[in-house]
Amino acid sequence: CAPAKTLAVARYRAYVEEKGAFITSYRGMARPEEARWQAWRDRQIFRCESHLGPKGHLLVHAPFCIELGKGCSLGCWFCAVSSEKLGEQLAYTPDQARWWRECLEVLQEVTGEGARGGYCYWSNDPLDNPDYEQFMVDFHDIIDFFPQTTTAQADRHIDRVRNLLKLAEEKGGVIDRFSVLTLPQLNRIHEAFDPAELAFVECVPQNKEALGAGYVVAGRALERAKRRVAQGKAEPTPEHENSTIACVSGFYLNMVDRRVQLITPCNASDRWPLGHWLLDEGTFTDASSLRRLLKRMIADNMKVSLSADDEVAFRSDLSYEAAEQGFEVTSAF
């Protein structure tokens, strides 16, 4: 590209390049130490290169994500994981705090140093939990890393968010993100926070005016697209033109339901509308049962070799063609 004409533009380009390098380093940092999990995760990374195309290069394949409550207060029409309405939130009581820390210790034990790549939101907005910051302090104490926060409520809780950003900086946090739903919200964010406070915050454009808005065709956005096709207002799009916001190749935990799912990214489809494969799931009651569940899922789903009776097939999105010597398998990308 052309040389930068101003120092500000040069600095911004350097920031973008550094962020690209950070994604690569984060993916490495998030690699679990368990050998079977490593091999399985590596396979998902390679798969996503051909399955998701350019999107596949941007995924960090985090080892786990944790919800500290049920549902979300926002109800965005484009929610790629079709979040339910806001429900019960995990309270930071003495008993719950003890249980939470014990569960974090299990995740640290099973994942190893890669646990530093985990974070605490998924189909929820983390600020819907009034005690989110206390849970994050415990996460830092146990995992030795302060996880990233993504919220669409920065303008609703200005003082709280300002304190959270300070806490993240004190604990060695990295880049946080504000999802921007409307232009007025963007203006309120810039009125409330000065440039220094936003230096390590991405304002992700989800507003309708944004060029290349951040939402993807998955979840509610996929449902809307299908309705428009049924109404004759749009043409159906191939599955590979859908996408995903999933960036976990590992475990998705909800601490209210005490549920664990084993997931990995894929393009959204009729079969997988939320943009991830669901490979296994189960529930737990305490740290010991969580440990057993995670180890069982690893043993059952993360093989390092095939046996004689394992069935092998090509992914449904691949095209097979015989060649003079052997064959070719091709994806849309």
Give pLDDT tens digits for 201-223. Answer: 999 998 888 876 556 889 998 99
Q: How far is CA 178 from CA 106, 115, 124, 214, in A?
A: 30, 24, 14, 12
Classify residue 304 as exposed, middle or buried by CB count within 10 Å of its CB (0-12, 13-18, 19+): exposed
Lowest average pLDDT, out of 12-16, 81-85, 125-129, 263-267, goes to: 12-16
Strand 319-322 and strand 327-330: the pairing is antiparallel
> Per-residue pLDDT for 2 more than 80?
no
- What is the rounded average pLDDT of the residues 264-288? 96
pLDDT score recorded for residue 18? 87
Residues 219, 206: Cα–Cα separation, whole Å:
15
User: Does position 240 have pLDDT exceeding 70, yes or no?
Assistant: yes
E strand residue ranges, the chain: 62-67, 150-151, 176-180, 201-205, 248-254, 259-265, 276-283, 319-322, 327-330
3-state secondary structure of 148: coil
Q: What are the two backbone dihedrals, phi and then psi, of residue 279, each rounded to the nearest 5 degrees? A: -100, -20
pTM above 0.85, yes or no: yes
The answer on pLDDT for 281 being more than 90 is: yes
Structure tokens at 235: 């043409």
CB atoms within 10 A of CB 112: 16
| Contact between residue 27 and residue 249 where contact means Cβ atoms under 8 Å apart | no
Exposed e or buried b for every residue in 241-278, given b needs 16+ CB within 10 A? ebbbbbbbbbbbbbbbebebbbbbbbbbbeebbbbbbe
**Interval 126-152 mean pLDDT:** 97
At position 161, the amino acid (one-letter code) is: V
151: its two tokens:
């919220």
CA proximity to 274, closest of 255, 246, 252: 246
pLDDT of residue 212: 64
Say if residue 144's pLDDT is above 70: yes
Amino acid 211: pLDDT: 77
Average pLDDT, the chain: 94
Among the ranges given (53-57, 83-87, 90-94), the one the predictor scored with the smallest mean pLDDT? 53-57
Question: Would the pLDDT of 245 be above 80?
Answer: yes
Whole-angstrom distance, CA of residue 111 vs CA of residue 48: 22
Does residue 236 surpass a pLDDT of 80? yes
Q: Which of 20-34, 89-103, 119-133, 158-172 has the lowest mean pLDDT?
A: 20-34
Residue 196 CA to chain centroid, in angstroms?
Answer: 26
CA distances from 46 to 53, 56, 182 (A): 11, 9, 36
Cα distances (Å, whole numbers) of residue 304 to 32, 213, 265: 15, 39, 20
Query: Ramachandran region of residue 258, left (φ > 0), alpha (ψ -120 to 50) or beta?
Result: left
| pLDDT at residue number 214 | 57
pLDDT recorded at residue 213? 59
Helical H segments across 131-208, by residue range = 132-143, 158-170, 183-192
CA distance to 32, 254, 256, 289, per residue, from 286 (Å): 22, 13, 12, 5
Q: What is the mean pLDDT of residues 98-110?
A: 98
Residue 266: pLDDT band with limits 50, 70, 90? very high
